[in-house]
Structure 1
């Protein structure tokens, strides 16, 4: 049983975060739809598709297809595929996303992870403050993990955080997550610098630090960094 719990904890390092983090520099190419005027200046960017190619050999693709909406609300279908450095499927996700013109949003997704099982995630974000210089958001998520490992039951992970941007150029974030089944806590801090931006393209550099602790083991803060081309 201990070996199975250890395996679950190792798998969680890579797959139990709400947002995938790339520990090697990567390139992120994203396409956006033409926006109505009331959406074009909002904090919401409606992604049509994305492709990732990372220097560690991993890659991925994502799509967001509008289903219905009006000038204030949008409902879209979302999906993504992630591949490891051997071009084998690492995760497949499908679900729904809701966007509000004021910067609020929510997603409901199901992810299949070969060798681990499935997980269902409900996530949401709320814009707390926005003006020409400052943008502050709070987010939270709850994940139901459903491993296909014998004798390992389903278990939950919950977490949340805050994101801040100054003039859409410099930003910072902090988040935490807890998995009760193995009594694990994950922490992350991040920073973002926008290097170049046009109405449809953005080049960003992200740097971050993360750690986790469990009753039997506690990691030190580790660094990570990313390049994003949006």
Structure 2
């Protein structure tokens, strides 16, 4: 058991350094077209996908294709690809997303991470407050990790967080996750500043701090900064 715990701990640290295992990405790409005003101004767009290039050398692409719905509910197929150093595949994800007119949503996805294995994730968000200036959401997820490495069994990770945006310009987030198998905790704080935005492009500055602790090792708060350029379609 100790060997399995040690291998899993080392594995998670390694994967975390190139693809954050416990931080679930958002798949809420906007594509609601001309919906009523109650969708909120930040949700009335025609975009069904995005391409993003980051200053740290990573990049990604995401799509969200409506399957069915009405003026109150949407069910969509979603997919994304994350690329890391030298355009290597960091992760590939596919699944389903549900969106509610009031800003609530849920996703069910499967992700493949080269060098690690696969994971199934159920995630949800609840809009706590929204008007022309403020947008506050709470989110949570549960993942079943399925490593393809000998002597490391499947294990679960759960997490939750909050996200806040002011006038679609300034944002902040905080999240925490726990992996019971190796008693690992991950913590993340983040900030975002939109430099400019058009209906099809966005340039953002991101700053964050992350740390983790396990029975074997504990990190300090590690800072990171990056610029992200996104093209929507």
1:152 lines up with 2:157 in the alignment = no
1:10 lines up with 2:10 in the alignment = no
Q: Distance in 1 between matches of 2:130 and 2:64?
A: 25
- Cα 1:127/1:201, change in 2 over 3 Å: same
Answer yes or no: is the 8 Å Cα contact 1:47–1:63 preserved in 2. no
Q: Indicate the larger mover: 94-103 or 75-84.
A: 75-84
Deviation, 1:50, is 1.7
Q: Indicate the larger mover: 8-17 or 139-148.
A: 8-17
**Deviation per residue, 1:128-185 (Å, 9 max, x gap):** 1122322211000000001111121110000001111222222211110001111111
1:41 lines up with 2:3 in the alignment = no
Structure 1 segment 66-215 matched on structure 2, within 5 A? 66-215=66-215
- Cα 1:133/1:32, change in 2 over 3 Å: closer
Q: Distance in 1 between matches of 2:68 and 2:85?
A: 36
Where is the strand percentage greater, Structure 1 or Structure 2?
Answer: 1
TM-score by length of 1: 0.85
Answer yes or no: is the 8 Å Cα contact 1:208–1:224 preserved in 2. yes
Note the aligned Cα RMSD (angstroms). Answer: 2.3
Answer yes or no: is the 8 Å Cα contact 2:144–2:154 preserved in 1. yes
TM-score by length of 2: 0.84
Where structure 1 has 5 or more consecutive residues not aligned to the other structure, the ranges are 21-30
